[in-house]
Amino acid sequence: MKITLKNLGPLPQAEFELGDLTILCGENNSGKTYATYALHGFLAWGKHLCVPEISSIVLRQLQETGHVKLDINHLLDQFDHVLRDACEQYSSQINIVFGSDEKLFDGSVFDLKILKSERKVLPFYNGKNRFLRIAKARESDEIEVFVLEDRVVPDRAILDGIAEGLRNIIYSPSFPSAFIASAERTGAAIFKKELNFNRNRLLERMGAQPDKDPRELMASSYADYPLPVKVNVDFTRQLHGEISNKSFLNTTHPDLLEDFVEIIGGNYSIDNNDEIFFSPKNNKKIFLKMSESSSAVRSLLDIGFYLQHIVKEGDILMVDEPELNLHPVNQRKLARLFVRLVNKGVKIFITTHSDYIIKELNSLILLSMDQPHLKQIAEREGYRPDELLAPDRVRVYMARKELVLLEGYQRRTRNLTLVPARITAEHGIEAITFDETINDMNRIQDDIYFGD
């Protein structure tokens, strides 16, 4: 999956590919969060703009016979065209993702391409709405559409129903389901009651303006917040409804969840009043509210519940600055946890300023080589086989100024962009650490201690 960005925040032009583990590094205000939010926005709702073209012949046959068959291969031939149109529509509305004025994103472009080898079709499907039933049998190359109502169905209803079914069968499986933990996630945990108050205020507004479209009121209430922040807010408010669910990690990899407990030093729980508590591992009789818990406990709340109750194989977990409030020891542990998730089939996308996380991931890449002395080091240092990662599964980008040939220009100019790092099993992640800053600090300290 390749993403191209143009005129997006501080990034006049940038490209990046998704790996099983994708990392964006760089200084503040260099565009990392813009790239992250734009990708999440498309995976969260932009992909629903994928609407295949339905011919008038199909509409007429459904109206006349109540049944039609669609050839999947013919629909797949439209894939690139449909995806390009969806990206264009998404680009024109991308300001919504950032909760900003559309003038700030005038000319912004988000484009996403999926290789044919990456495209997936749902093996089987049987879905209904008010008017239609859409079905695909296993191993079949046809999708059948049936009209359920014994009357003429409006063309708009047919088009919407078919589009929904085809998105579920052909388009959605090609995109991972995305969950994001934004850098503002700590506040979402501690101000949960205030967020509920805002919801009640919205209900009051709806009651006072009964003729107003509730969706418009909802949109205006959230207009000042980026989509990932809304996701964290809504997720925190709805945690009680998720606790009865169990993710695939619960049944197949409970040891991974136990390692997460080790990182936060205890367990989360929710009472009948929808209050979130944290119990330290060394004293399970203590129940601390989020306002009484450490910032590290709050910053990992969303991730903990997501792993415990929601995550599925093939999903993508996006974390903006996973190092928030974490001691270096736990930053290293979290890096190892991310690699274990990747090896269990969950894609990971992070932005980070943490040299500890980068260096730990670097070690896990280097130790993946099949060499006796590396196996000895891994065993001595307590690294497990499922914590090691082959370099070809990793993509790393530095947000920095580089000579770039912008569209419409004849000469390269120095602009912020995303520069890919070279990653090999022999050298790990090259030219991507924070060594310049660290070397400067070491040089100054050497001068202090040993200078004349």
What confidence score (pLDDT) does residue 202 get? 46
Query: Above 90 in pLDDT, residue 244?
Result: no
Query: What type of residue sits at position 112?
Result: L
Per-residue pLDDT, averaged over 201-215, amounts to 52
Q: How confident is the model at residue 217 (pLDDT cuts 50, 70, 90)?
A: very low
* Coil/strand/helix, residue 332: helix
Question: Is residue 247 in some structural domain?
Answer: no
* Coil/strand/helix, residue 31: coil
Look at residues 159, 130, 6 and name the one whose alpha carbon lies nearest to residue 68: 159
Query: Above 90 in pLDDT, residue 185?
Result: no
d(CA 246, CA 223): 33
Q: How confident is the model at residue 227 (pLDDT cuts 50, 70, 90)?
A: confident
Q: How confident is the model at residue 195 (pLDDT cuts 50, 70, 90)?
A: low
Instruction: Beginning with the edge strand found earlier in the chain, give each strand of the sheet holding 413-420 in spatial order.
Output: 178-181, 316-320, 347-352, 21-26, 394-404, 413-420
Domain hosting residue 132, numbered range? 2-182+226-242+310-450
Question: Is residue 339 in some structural domain?
Answer: yes
Q: How confident is the model at residue 219 (pLDDT cuts 50, 70, 90)?
A: very low
Question: Is residue 173 in some structural domain?
Answer: yes
Question: How many folded domains does the chain comprise?
Answer: 1
Strand-pair category, 394-404 with 413-420 = antiparallel
Query: Above 80 in pLDDT, residue 216?
Result: no
Q: Provide, rounded to the nearest whole percent, the portion of the chain with pLDDT above 70.
A: 90
What confidence score (pLDDT) does residue 204 get? 52
Per-residue pLDDT, averaged over 212-232, amounts to 62
Question: Is residue 193 in some structural domain?
Answer: no
Query: Above 60 in pLDDT, residue 210?
Result: no
What confidence score (pLDDT) does residue 209 get? 59
Question: Is residue 423 in some structural domain?
Answer: yes
Question: Is residue 392 in some structural domain?
Answer: yes
* Tokens at 219, concatenated: 């949109």
- Residues 397, 36: contact at Cβ < 8 Å? no
pLDDT digits (tens, 9 = 90+) for 87-146: 999 999 999 899 888 899 999 999 999 988 888 899 999 988 888 899 999 989 999 998
* Tokens at 86, concatenated: 């969806």
Taking all residues of the chain, what is their mean pLDDT, rounded to a whole number?
86
Q: Provide, rounded to the nearest whole percent, the portion of the chain with pLDDT above 90.
A: 47
pLDDT digits (tens, 9 = 90+) for 389-425: 999 999 999 999 999 888 888 899 999 999 999 998 8
What confidence score (pLDDT) does residue 443 get? 84
Question: Is residue 170 in some structural domain?
Answer: yes
Query: Above 50 in pLDDT, residue 222?
Result: no
pLDDT digits (tens, 9 = 90+) for 258-295: 999 999 999 988 888 778 889 998 887 888 888 888 88
Q: Is the pLDDT higher at 391 or at 445?
A: 391
pTM over 0.85: yes
Q: How confident is the model at residue 357 (pLDDT cuts 50, 70, 90)?
A: very high
What confidence score (pLDDT) does residue 81 get? 93
Other beta carbons less than 10 A from residue 217's beta carbon: 16
For the chain, what percentages of helix, strand and coil (3-state, to nearest 5) are there? 50, 20, 30
Q: Could you write out the DSSP letters of every residue in 307-324?
A: HHHT--TT-EEEEE-TTT
pLDDT digits (tens, 9 = 90+) for 29-58: 899 999 999 999 999 988 888 888 888 888
What confidence score (pLDDT) does residue 205 get? 52
What confidence score (pLDDT) does residue 336 get? 96
Question: Is residue 260 in some structural domain?
Answer: no
Q: How confident is the model at residue 155 (pLDDT cuts 50, 70, 90)?
A: confident
* Coil/strand/helix, residue 212: coil
Q: Is the pLDDT higher at 236 or at 321?
A: 321
What confidence score (pLDDT) does residue 215 get? 44
152's CB contacts (< 8 A; 6+ apart) are 63
